[in-house]
Amino acid sequence: MLPTLNGRIQTRIFLLAVVGSIWTLIITPVLPIDAPLSTAYKVTFSVLLVTTVLGVVWEFIYHGIQQFRWEKDWPTLFGLLTAIPEGLLVWFLFKGGAVWWIDPDQLPGPAFVIDFATTWLLVWLVANGPMRVPFIHWRINGGRLI
């Protein structure tokens, strides 16, 4: 399967909304965030939201870069490694105050790294494994779900 731009965007939004939300509900109470649980959830779901919105922008950038590749796609490992620039951008947006509804001090570095890295890894694993079982046509349709 060669994912289309539309398919990659749909898959990213779907996986972050479903798998990312479930994982965020599970992991937030154990993260090293020194704040009430409601604040911790607000912070971690904000990270998930910002990652999702920026992810759509990243897909356009990746799509442009992929046009220079013969097969017009990434090797699977590149999909995992894209977490590094995406995570750094999300971190700098939070710490720089661009995410105005969250106080930058409410998001400690270790909590962000654990939250972002585990969510990214889980979403990547689901996209490259179990996602292919219930969504048979997902593979045939270039990653589109709709």
Q: Residue 58 gets which letter from DSSP?
A: H
Neighbour count for residue 115 (Cβ, 10 Å): 25
On whether the CB atoms of residues 126 and 15 are closer than 8 A, the answer is yes
| Matching residue, tokens 């930058």 | 104
On whether the CB atoms of residues 21 and 108 are closer than 8 A, the answer is no
> Domain boundaries in the chain?
5-140
Integer Cα distance of 73 and 62 in angstroms:
9
| 118-144 tens-digit pLDDT | 999 999 999 988 888 888 777 777 777
Please compute the mean of the pLDDT values over residues 41-63 and round it to a whole number.
Answer: 96
Model confidence, pTM: 0.92
Q: Residue 121 has what pLDDT?
A: 97
Q: Residue 1 has what pLDDT?
A: 56
Please compute the mean of the pLDDT values over residues 38-52 and round it to a whole number.
Answer: 98
Handedness of CA 15, 16, 20, 25 (dihedral sign): negative
Q: Which residue has the higher pLDDT, 142 or 108?
A: 108
Q: Residue 24 has what pLDDT?
A: 98
